[in-house]
Amino acid sequence: MDELDELWILNESGACMFNYAVDSKMDPLLFGSFFTAINQFGKQCSDTAIDDITMGKNFLMSMFLPDYHTTIVARSTHTKKRKNMKKMLKEISIQFIQHFQPYQIIDWDGNLDLFEDFEQFIVSYFNRSEKIIQNMKMIF
């Protein structure tokens, strides 16, 4: 996928319930703890959650799903279009809501098998632009 390099789904405690990366992968446990801590700090300072963070060449954008007590966070390089990244994050959150009922996520017991079907969607979503390019090469 052109815009996203990595995706995390974090519950409100900071536990990483799902992680997918195209290339190198940050430690999901470390990232979940870091992002949750910085987000809670931001809420204490300004009563709002963090929408995005720039760290070196990486850009993080998040979307909170209040009914699920969950945050979906995406990583990209900061040079990529933020508008497209936000659109993709929205599409992923819609699919997440279609795949899961709030009680499944709120009462999550740590079993990662819950996310197997969703992972197939994410893998195909991340690879769709690559497939389009390959199909275009075959046509021309």
Distances 140 to 1, 57, 130, 133 between C-alpha atoms, Å: 21, 34, 16, 11
The count of domains in the chain is 1
The order of strands in the sheet holding 6-11 is 16-21, 6-11, 70-77, 58-65, 52-55
* pLDDT tens, position by position, 104-135: 999 999 999 999 889 988 988 877 655 554 54
pLDDT of residue 85: 86
* Residue 84 placed within a domain: yes
pLDDT band at 90 (very low <50, low <70, confident <90, very high): very high
Q: List pLDDT tens digits, range 2-57.
A: 678 899 999 988 999 999 987 777 888 888 988 888 888 877 887 777 788 888 88
Residue 16 within any structural domain of the chain: yes
Q: What CATH number has the domain bearing residue 48?
A: 3.30.450.70
- pTM for the whole structure: 0.83
User: Residue 79: what pLDDT?
Assistant: 67
Q: Which residues span the domain enclosing 134?
A: 6-139
Residue 29 located in a structural domain: yes
